Amino acid sequence: MARTYDTSFKELITQQFATLLPWLLPDVRSHEVVKLSEELPSTLRRADLVVRVLRSPRSSDSPGAPRIVVFECQCQSDPALPKTMALRSMLAHYQYDLLVETVLLAFTPQAVTPPEYAFGDSACGSSVHRVTVRRVFDESADAALRQDIDSLLPLIPAMQPDSGDRQALLRTAIERIIDRIASDEQRKLMIDSAATFATLRLSDGDVRGIVADVFTRRRYMLDPIRDFPWLRAGYEQGVQHGEARGEARGEARGEARGKASAVVTILASRAIPVTDIERARILACIDLEQLDRWLVRAASASTTADVLAAS
């Protein structure tokens, strides 16, 4: 799952960095995305983002100087991260001969590292690598929404809503993506990423249900199996998770979760309303034969009641 978050973040950064800059580095007046040379030593995984920036001067007497900023997006604990961040910082300094700043975007409490990593012989004076740690999971989602940066919407579900209602926060993020993003492909990417980062705070089933509910209410037409990778992957992972456990009960539950989510999503893709009671009944079902019948009916039924009919 860690790779899923990392990939989602890198995809967003690749396509949306310029518009995300006011959130990432609000005092920067110019920037250029750069890379560490492939010829330099490998550091287990590449840095998520390396940028050469020129910050706005604090006064007319201090015009500022270019520097390198290395960003790391982290969603889980990694004991080796302080060492690899220090190594990447030194590699960036070696390649560009500029001061280097490392920024850790921590999306969970487990991802937080100490702001300093000391290494070397303490008798001779330790060397210290300092990191700016942003506790994104503690940042206000409402304040982020007020920044009105569309490209930030996929990351907002991982933040802290003032009301404490994370489900409502995810709905808001998805609705804004649907309303504001003109490109259908970009919209799909951003919804997929918003759903991915929402799973840091909500269960997979809750996230799939919320996405399907928004699609239904907003009449947003998608074929979930064809057009929405996260929902498709969620279904497939649910089945695979059950199979991997090697127990009949675990396999049935994993497959049931995937099929139940697929029923809700197919109804949403066809703009068929699903009430909270109907959704709860579908997602709670663990009868695989019943779910198979509902899946067949969902493809052609006119109402959810027709899908759930006893006959």
Query: For position 301, what pLDDT does the model report?
Result: 86
Query: For position 225, what pLDDT does the model report?
Result: 45
203, pLDDT greater than 60: yes
Hey, which residues does 52 pair with through a beta bridge? 32, 68
φ/ψ bin of 206: left (φ > 0), alpha (ψ from -120 to 50), beta (otherwise): alpha
Query: For position 298, what pLDDT does the model report?
Result: 87
Q: Which residues of 183-207 are buried (b: 16+ CB within 10 A; e: fewer)?
A: eeeebbbbbbbbbbbbbbbbebbbb
Tell me the H-state helices in the chain: 2-24, 81-96, 141-146, 166-180, 184-198, 204-218, 224-227, 229-245, 248-269, 276-284, 288-298, 304-308
Q: Where does the pLDDT of residue 166 fall: very low under 50, low under 70, confident under 90, or very high at 90 and above?
A: very high
Say which amino acid occupies 231: L
What percent of the chain clears pLDDT 90, i.e. is strictly above it? 38
Q: CA 287, 289, 292, 294 torsion: positive or negative?
A: negative
Q: What residue ranges do the domains of the chain occupy?
A: 2-138, 203-308
For residues 177 and 172, what is the distance between their CA atoms, to the nearest angstrom? 9
Beta strands in 120-185 (DSSP E): 127-135
All residues at 6 or more sequence positions from 267 whose CB lies less than 8 Å from its CB, including other chains = 212, 216, 274, 298, 304, 307
Instruction: Record the tokens describing residue 198, joined without a space.
Output: 């929402």
- The DSSP H or E segment spanning 67 is strand 66-74
Query: For position 257, what pLDDT does the model report?
Result: 77
Least confident among 201-210, 226-235, 244-253, 286-295: 244-253
Work out the end-to-end distance of the chain between its first and last CA atoms, rounded to an integer number of angstroms.
Answer: 40
Could you read off the pLDDT of 20-58 as tens digits, one per residue?
989 999 888 888 988 888 777 766 567 888 999 987 776
Query: For position 38, what pLDDT does the model report?
Result: 75
Query: For position 1, what pLDDT does the model report?
Result: 47
Mean pLDDT of 177-204: 88
Q: Assess contact for 1 and 74: CB atoms under 8 A.
A: no
Q: Assess contact for 82 and 50: CB atoms under 8 A.
A: no
Query: For position 167, what pLDDT does the model report?
Result: 93
248, pLDDT greater than 70: no
Mean pLDDT of 253-275: 80
Mean pLDDT of 231-238: 55
Other beta carbons within 10 Å of 311 = 4
Q: Assess contact for 238 and 269: CB atoms under 8 A.
A: no
Instruction: Record the tokens describing residue 196, joined without a space.
Output: 């991915």
What's the whole-model pTM score?
A: 0.72
Mean pLDDT, the chain, rounded, equals: 82
230, pLDDT greater than 70: no
Closest-CA residue to 206 (of 136, 140, 276): 276
254, pLDDT greater than 70: no
Instruction: Record the tokens describing residue 225, joined without a space.
Output: 């199996």
For residues 240 and 173, what is the distance between their CA atoms, to the nearest angstrom? 29
214, pLDDT greater than 90: no
Mean pLDDT of 257-264: 82
Q: Where does the pLDDT of residue 222 fall: very low under 50, low under 70, confident under 90, or very high at 90 and above?
A: low
Q: Assess contact for 235 and 262: CB atoms under 8 A.
A: yes
Query: For position 96, what pLDDT does the model report?
Result: 93
242, pLDDT greater than 60: no
Q: DSSP secondary-structure letter at 101? A: E
Query: For position 103, what pLDDT does the model report?
Result: 96
Q: Where does the pLDDT of residue 209 fall: very low under 50, low under 70, confident under 90, or very high at 90 and above?
A: confident
